[in-house]
Structure 1
Amino acid sequence: MHRPTQTETLWPTQAHVSTHRCAQVQAHRNTHTGTYSHTHTHTHAHTGNAQAYKTIQDHAQAYTDPQITSAQAPTKEMRAQAHHISAYAHVRAHAHTQTHTHSNSNTSLPGHWRASWPAALGLSLFHPGLQPRPSSCSTPPPVGCINSFPLPLPSTASLDTSTASVSAHSWQAGQDQSLPTGSMATKCGKCGPGYPTPLEAMKGPREEIVYLPCIYRNTGTEAPDYLATVDIDPKSPQYCQVIHRLPMPNLKDELHHSGWNACSSCFGDSTKSRNKLVLPCLMSSRIYVVDVGSDPRAPKLHKVIEAEDIHAKCGLGYVHTSHCLASGEVMVSTLGDPKGNGKGGFVLLDGETFEVKGTWEQPGGAAPLGYDFWYQPRHNVMISTEWAAPNVFRDGFNPAHVEAGLYGSHIHVWDWQRHEIVQTLPLQDGLIPLEVRFLHNPDAAHGFVGCALSSTIQHFYKNQGGTWSVEKVIQVPPKKVKGWLLPEMPSLITDILLSLDDRFLYFSNWLHGDLRQYDISDPHRPRLTGQLFLGGSIVKGGPVQVLEDQELESQPEPLVVKGKRVPGGPQMIQLSLDGKRLYITTSLYSAWDKQFYPDLIREGSVMLQIDVDTIKGGLKLNPNFLVDFGKEPLGPALAHEPRYPGGDCSSDIWL
């Protein structure tokens, strides 16, 4: 399939892209809406599994502990307070008129890898819809609620710089901006979920509980995956304990990521409430909807969206990332078609009934591969990334598939209004681009992508002419090793996050074992400000000997927390609203866990907490925090992405 180059578009750019300019407020927003109808005739036979159902029934009691779940009354759902709202400033990034062009040669291996692949090719195991934003979601805003325009900019002195770093590219202060009269109110008497701005979110309450999907697929335990609720309030007698477990009604789903029915994109709509957690299943293609509003400390299953429904209405499968939209819908990315071939499309769900409505993209318009996505409506753009076809990665990582070009190496730029790809950007040293994050400032035209296998961070940005470019800004060098599958070990960047003030970028190196913090005040030149080793494949005393290291003088010590030697390396990360605490889990994907870290299967994953220096930069392990999923009632489990009840920096998008 032909991939458009960075300079190709599907229509004249100037005629169709948003006319929003970085240095100005767009005084008039397009209110055009469009409807796309999709009809698919695919059917898929549904067969019950009586034995699996009996197994689930047999285990159900082990997940329920009335003494624990009723020990404390449910906490109130986090809601935004009616504060006076400080304004956004507008992007003051450098204008980039040149358009970078790259060849497609990067779909093959980097030069320093090529020599080592042939000897390993026989090995498969490693040892060690939205239309342009209405004023407030789908209903008129209540009196006094914020709409999509920023407030007039206050003076520099009025900004709270104790919790936010204001930089030229993001939240610059000191210059007034005029707006249409009456376009914005400064207070919200009755608002929807989340917070009016990212900086207001930083003032939200401290996290008290966290939800984590826990996986049993590929562990040898014949039990369903479940949603764990963990108490992370230091003042609670149940601190660092799993206080509730909600089992799913099927086996081998591979719960993975989660999202919300509503978030800060619907802040202006008082009819919306963040009360349902959406759980896409990576392998079964089901989507579970969980009620967390009735009792946040004891969630309950609300609805099951079966794979057959998604297959028939969308022609898609292998669901991954879920984001709520201001339209009231929920959008879920996919990695494949029902047969496991690559297909990067998007499923639309009704945000109230959770019925499958069809696809977000136009018919036949899916990307060749899919994974994550993030949208920025003020720039009429969405960015999506690529992992691989499910048939490629399902049972594990095979180096031959990399040599064959079966893993992703591009990002896709979508027209947010037209639901179509307008650019496909090849990445320099960008094999397996996974998590994508725009800056939280909705006026910003910058973002980052973490590329796992190439171990790079890519920065994408909008050019003056309206097209998008991408550049490599961080490269974690591989380490020459002995006792591993290959002579060189990549760091394997598997998750990235941006702080809500757009000051810091965090990412995890799952194989090397370190967590990093970068100052991104200049997004073209990130600066390393913190690094912490939390296990990994190169620790002392392990099977891997490091022969040559461009960064370290010696191999790091194994991580021991509260007497437990931590298996695996840092993987999923979540940041507190105020930016002062990071929560880390160690499981990537069950089949890859089994290959890279067999100890994870035997011992289960853990959740750790890192203290963050938000003034000078820096990371420090909290030695008193450990959630050990190796001690779960049915056996060691693999905990994945943390999610707070009130939203966080990877679930909420501001418009």
Structure 2
Amino acid sequence: PREEVAYVTCTYRCTGIEQPDFLATVDLNPRSCHYGQVIHRLPMPNLKDELYCAGWGPARGCFDSGAAAKRTKLVLPCLISSRIYVVDVGSQCRAPRICKMIEPVDVFWKCNKGHLSTTHPLPNGDVLVANMGDAAGHGKGGFVVLDGETFELKGNWENECEAPPTGHDFCYQARHNVLVSSAGVVPRVAGRGFNPDDLKKGVFGRRLNVWNLSCRSLTQCFDLGEDSLPQTVRFLHNPEAAEGYVGCALSGAIFRFYKSCEANNWAVEEVIRIPAKDVSGWIMPKMPAFIADLVISQDDRFLYVCNWLHGDIRQYELSRNCKPRLVGQVFVGGSILRGGPVTVCRDEELKCQPEPLVVKVSGAGPAA
């Protein structure tokens, strides 16, 4: 069935506004008079959390009867405060409420982890949350586990001495007993914002990590290049597929990872590289693409790329020869629009800077 609402995490970090972050509920029903509008805001009870990548709790439903599984809990990890909120979206989907909160001190003392990023439910029903650092803000990858029923903090997921230098996103394919995780940024340095002086100092991660899902052990690591910053990790939706993609924010490269012919070994290959642009009026003479997110279509035919700094969303066709082909592109913002403070001096892809996008909205203003 079509989704009736969407939930969006909203943060005030670095805006100068001293208000708590909030979870926005957006009406997706085209027959509603509030279609496309924010209909509810759920403020967090604390300041300066920086809500990050929200994820679903385990699905509940009767699979034997063929009934659709229902997700009733949303898990909100916080990047700066290291707090975890659990939100009940099942009782009132249009007006969710916080039903549990895990304080940072519990994460610090029980796991020696902090700066939480992404979350996914595990095959056994528990919830896995990735972290970018330790309690002091030093780089430290790995995961913490929440009980899938009570959402109590159970502890660390990975075996001792297995933590990568940094962490960020992850995805798994249960039928291949594999979990793949990406690198992040050293939190105590990156917390002040992007600084070109941090390049070539080990602040930005460069590794792609392959884990044995059932043993919770690190089995392979791939170096994707200095300051590449691999972030978003996506497997194909087909549960039998043994391949996926990872986007590197600063290098503008997208790698395909796949199971090689050698038993239980994985390999990587670069399949896309979005070139940097020579610019003036910016903090560096070259502006990287900064790949902020990847989405694979449900039928595994297309890969969608959020090219954040340049401001475009790209559509690549995923063909059988493993070389994605650019088939669509739309500019929705970014830093290189015509008439802005940045001038593009040399561009390998575009003949001229894109025009600003203007969206006309009819009707009344937002409902909330």
Give TM-score, length-normalised by structure 2. Answer: 0.94
Pairing 1:443-462 to 2, within 5 Å after superposition: 443-462=240-259
User: Quick check: 1:301 aligned with 2:301?
Assistant: no
Partner of 1:508: 306
The structure-2 alpha-carbon separation of the partners of 1:377 and 1:430, relative to structure 1 and needing over 3 Å to count, comes to: farther
Q: Give the conservation status (yes or no) of the 8 Å contact 2:200–2:227.
A: no
Partner of 1:286: 83
- Work out the CA distance in 2 between the residues paired with 1:468 and 1:627: 53
Question: Letter of the aligned partner of 1:301 in structure 2?
Answer: I
Partner of 1:412: 209
User: Quick check: 1:352 aligned with 2:149?
Assistant: yes
Q: Give the conservation status (yes or no) of the 8 Å contact 2:301–2:317.
A: yes
- Structure 2 unaligned regions, length at least 5: none
The structure-2 alpha-carbon separation of the partners of 1:481 and 1:271, relative to structure 1 and needing over 3 Å to count, comes to: closer
Q: Give the conservation status (yes or no) of the 8 Å contact 1:213–1:255.
A: yes
- Work out the CA distance in 2 between the residues paired with 1:392 and 1:242: 34
Partner of 1:362: 159
Question: Letter of the aligned partner of 1:515 in structure 2?
Answer: I
Q: Give the conservation status (yes or no) of the 8 Å contact 2:279–2:343.
A: yes
Partner of 2:9: 213
Shift of 1:426: 1.0
Aligned partner of residue 560 in structure 1, secondary structure: coil
Pairing 1:55-134 to 2, within 5 Å after superposition: none
Partner of 2:228: 431
Q: Give the conservation status (yes or no) of the 8 Å contact 1:262–1:272.
A: no
User: Quick check: 1:314 aligned with 2:111?
Assistant: yes
User: Quick check: 1:489 aligned with 2:290?
Assistant: no
- Work out the CA distance in 1 between the residues paired with 2:9 and 2:367: 13
- Work out the CA distance in 1 between the residues paired with 2:299 and 2:226: 28
Question: Letter of the aligned partner of 1:244 in structure 2?
Answer: H
Higher helix share: 1
Q: Give the conservation status (yes or no) of the 8 Å contact 2:61–2:69.
A: no
Shift of 1:351: 1.0
Q: Give the conservation status (yes or no) of the 8 Å contact 1:265–1:324.
A: no
Q: Give the conservation status (yes or no) of the 8 Å contact 2:34–2:367.
A: no
Aligned partner of residue 246 in structure 1, secondary structure: strand
**Which of 65, 71, 75 is the equivalent residue of 1:274?**
71
Question: Letter of the aligned partner of 1:355 in structure 2?
Answer: E
Partner of 1:442: 239
The structure-2 alpha-carbon separation of the partners of 1:515 and 1:405, relative to structure 1 and needing over 3 Å to count, comes to: same
Query: Rg larger in 1 or in 2?
Result: 1
Q: Deviations over 1:377-398 (max 9, x none)?
A: 2111110001111112111011
Question: Letter of the aligned partner of 2:98 in structure 1?
Answer: L
Pairing 1:169-180 to 2, within 5 Å after superposition: none
Identify which range, 415-424 or 481-490, moves more after superposition.
481-490
- Structure 1 unaligned regions, length at least 5: 1-204, 563-623, 634-655
- Work out the CA distance in 1 between the residues paired with 2:208 and 2:299: 25
The structure-2 alpha-carbon separation of the partners of 1:233 and 1:401, relative to structure 1 and needing over 3 Å to count, comes to: same
Identify which range, 384-393 or 520-529, moves more after superposition.
520-529
Pairing 1:138-157 to 2, within 5 Å after superposition: none
Q: Deviations over 1:594-653 (max 9, x none)?
A: xxxxxxxxxxxxxxxxxxxxxxxxxxxxxx59999xx897xxxxxxxxxxxxxxxxxxxx
Shift of 1:264: 8.8
Q: Give the conservation status (yes or no) of the 8 Å contact 2:255–2:270.
A: yes
Shift of 1:272: 7.2
- Work out the CA distance in 2 between the residues paired with 1:626 and 1:444: 45
Partner of 2:327: 529
Give TM-score, length-normalised by structure 1. Answer: 0.54
- Work out the CA distance in 2 between the residues paired with 1:523 and 1:265: 38
The structure-2 alpha-carbon separation of the partners of 1:353 and 1:293, relative to structure 1 and needing over 3 Å to count, comes to: same
Partner of 1:76: none
- Work out the CA distance in 2 between the residues paired with 1:268 and 1:433: 39
Partner of 1:90: none
Aligned partner of residue 497 in structure 1, secondary structure: strand
- Work out the CA distance in 2 between the residues paired with 1:266 and 1:477: 48
Partner of 1:498: 296
- Work out the CA distance in 2 between the residues paired with 1:488 and 1:472: 21
Partner of 2:32: 236
Q: Give the conservation status (yes or no) of the 8 Å contact 2:123–2:174.
A: no
Q: Give the conservation status (yes or no) of the 8 Å contact 1:430–1:456.
A: no
Q: Give the conservation status (yes or no) of the 8 Å contact 2:58–2:125.
A: yes
- Work out the CA distance in 2 between the residues paired with 1:266 and 1:328: 14
- Work out the CA distance in 1 between the residues paired with 2:52 and 2:261: 38
Partner of 1:54: none
Aligned partner of residue 283 in structure 1, secondary structure: coil
Shift of 1:206: 2.0
- Work out the CA distance in 2 between the residues paired with 1:420 and 1:351: 21
- RMSD of aligned C-alpha atoms? 2.2
Q: Give the conservation status (yes or no) of the 8 Å contact 2:87–2:97.
A: yes
Task: Number of aligned residue pairs: give it.
Answer: 366
User: Quick check: 1:518 aligned with 2:319?
Assistant: no
- Work out the CA distance in 1 between the residues paired with 2:189 and 2:364: 32
Shift of 1:559: 1.4
Partner of 2:131: 334
- Work out the CA distance in 1 between the residues paired with 2:135 and 2:367: 33
Q: Give the conservation status (yes or no) of the 8 Å contact 2:42–2:97.
A: yes
Percent pairwise identity: 54
Shift of 1:364: 2.2
Q: Give the conservation status (yes or no) of the 8 Å contact 2:182–2:233.
A: yes
**Which of 530, 552, 572 is the equivalent residue of 2:350?**
552
The structure-2 alpha-carbon separation of the partners of 1:528 and 1:265, relative to structure 1 and needing over 3 Å to count, comes to: farther
- Asked which structure has the greater RCO (Cα within 8 Å, sep 6+), the reply is 1
Higher strand share: 2
